[in-house]
Structure 1
Amino acid sequence: MIRRGVVSAVLTTGAVVLTLTGCSTSGGSTASSSATTTTPVQVPTGFDPCNDIPQSIMESEGLQGKLPNDFQADAGKVLWRGCVWSDPDGYGATIQRTNLTVDSVRNKHFPDTHEFVIAGRHAISTRQGDNADPAGCTVNIELKGGSLEFNLDNPAYLPKTGKKDTCQLARGLAEKVGAVIPATA
């Protein structure tokens, strides 16, 4: 499994440093196990999480300190473009456009996989970290040419959200953001 990198954000509300770690879905070939599904070579362009998510949504989740977070894997065939936010007392979220489709994520057979619909789009939640760590969860919402990926990091020691199910938090955030994704994206 490739680690997407560690992003450290120094929060302006003190000298608190919160380290966020996300896991990529690129564990292996970029094409799914189905011969008919391949990974596009660019990220979707119809929605940019760094600029198109209303600030009111992020504030409702206590998320702040937006930082760019782009990543690529598998010799540049799998791409992520987006930003990372954090809450000093709660979870951290990386929200990125990726050329990984919901189908390609499903075909990885990650633990604790659940499929559902958000704002009329196919979506999937998975636990992709080492040993299906309950502190991490990923939700992908279908976009044209890939998906919008939400990676949450929610260690148990966090006073605000640490005792809450990370996949429920991820799905809640994804539902709020999914409601503002244009139908053309």
Structure 2
Amino acid sequence: MASWSGLVRGAVLGAGLIMLVSACNSIGESKGNTSSASVTPTIAVDVPAGFDACKDIPQSVIQQEQLIKPDPDTADRPGGMKWRGCGWVQSDGYSPTIDMTNITLAMVRANKDFTVDEELTVGGRAALTSHVSGQDPHADCAINVEVKGGSLEISVDNPPSRRKSGNQHACEIAKRLAGQIVPAIPATL
């Protein structure tokens, strides 16, 4: 189950990455010069391996956050972007999608369709929270935590109408989840 915010986020990231790659390719082009070089951003071919965002989340986190109904989330977008993980729900609460992705923090920062809300460190790893520009970050927010070859992305959909969590900021929920999950990621990743 990919959350609606996750689908929007993926589509926006895809469009932004295609524009970024096109812009970088045109930087190296020069008319009449046969020695021009092309510069392209590097994206890993696949999501980082070594942490399964469906199976390796500590059971204590699932219980404490009352997460139920894990549903595999597998998304491939233009430009080679990939997400592998699971979407969850909290009955009458927020819905997180927890994925490993080959999207890097630099790619999120470079995408003008996103607003970076905060740069922080989670479990000794660089991280940032962001939301799709124009959307309410109180209701839809994601955190990307740096890993080799991409990031752990936790996207939280938390409409204000949710009885259990509607009064909480989606970015605060995402940061809390990241703080609980990151220690389970192998240090080599």
Specify the TM-score bucket, using the shorter chain as the normaliser: 0.7 to 0.9
Unaligned runs of 5+ in 2: 25-38
* 1:44–1:97 contact (8 Å) kept in structure 2: yes
| CA distance, structure 2, for counterparts of residue 111 and residue 79 of structure 1 | 21
The aligned residue for residue 146 of structure 1 is: 150
| CA distance, structure 2, for counterparts of residue 104 and residue 40 of structure 1 | 12
The aligned residue for residue 3 of structure 1 is: none
Structure-to-structure mapping, 1:1-185, within 5 angstroms: 7=1, 20-21=3-4, 22=6, 23-24=9-10, 25-29=13-17, 37-74=41-78, 77-109=80-112, 110-128=114-132, 131-134=134-137, 135-185=139-189
* 1:44–1:99 contact (8 Å) kept in structure 2: yes
* 1:39–1:104 contact (8 Å) kept in structure 2: no
Q: What count of residue pairs does the alignment treat as equivalent?
A: 166
| CA distance, structure 2, for counterparts of residue 95 and residue 142 of structure 1 | 14
SS at match of 2:184: coil
Greater Rg by CA: 2
| CA distance, structure 2, for counterparts of residue 42 and residue 114 of structure 1 | 27
* 1:111–1:132 contact (8 Å) kept in structure 2: no
Unaligned runs of 5+ in 1: 1-6, 9-19
SS at match of 2:84: strand
Percent of aligned positions that are identical: 39
* 2:116–2:128 contact (8 Å) kept in structure 1: no
Q: CA deviation at 1:106?
A: 1.2
| CA distance, structure 2, for counterparts of residue 124 and residue 167 of structure 1 | 10
The aligned residue for residue 36 of structure 2 is: none
* 2:141–2:155 contact (8 Å) kept in structure 1: yes
Say what the alpha-carbon RMSD is for the aligned residues.
2.0
* 2:73–2:85 contact (8 Å) kept in structure 1: yes
* 1:78–1:99 contact (8 Å) kept in structure 2: yes
| CA distance, structure 2, for counterparts of residue 142 and residue 180 of structure 1 | 14
Q: 1:68 to 1:45 in 2, by over 3 A?
A: same
Q: CA deviation at 1:26?
A: 2.6
| CA distance, structure 2, for counterparts of residue 138 and residue 74 of structure 1 | 20
- Structure with greater strand share of residues: 1
| CA distance, structure 1, for counterparts of residue 167 and residue 160 of structure 2 | 6
The aligned residue for residue 11 of structure 1 is: none
The two structures have a TM-score, normalised by structure 2, of 0.81
The two structures have a TM-score, normalised by structure 1, of 0.82
| CA distance, structure 1, for counterparts of residue 61 and residue 167 of structure 2 | 22
| CA distance, structure 1, for counterparts of residue 121 and residue 151 of structure 2 | 13
Q: CA deviation at 1:112?
A: 4.4
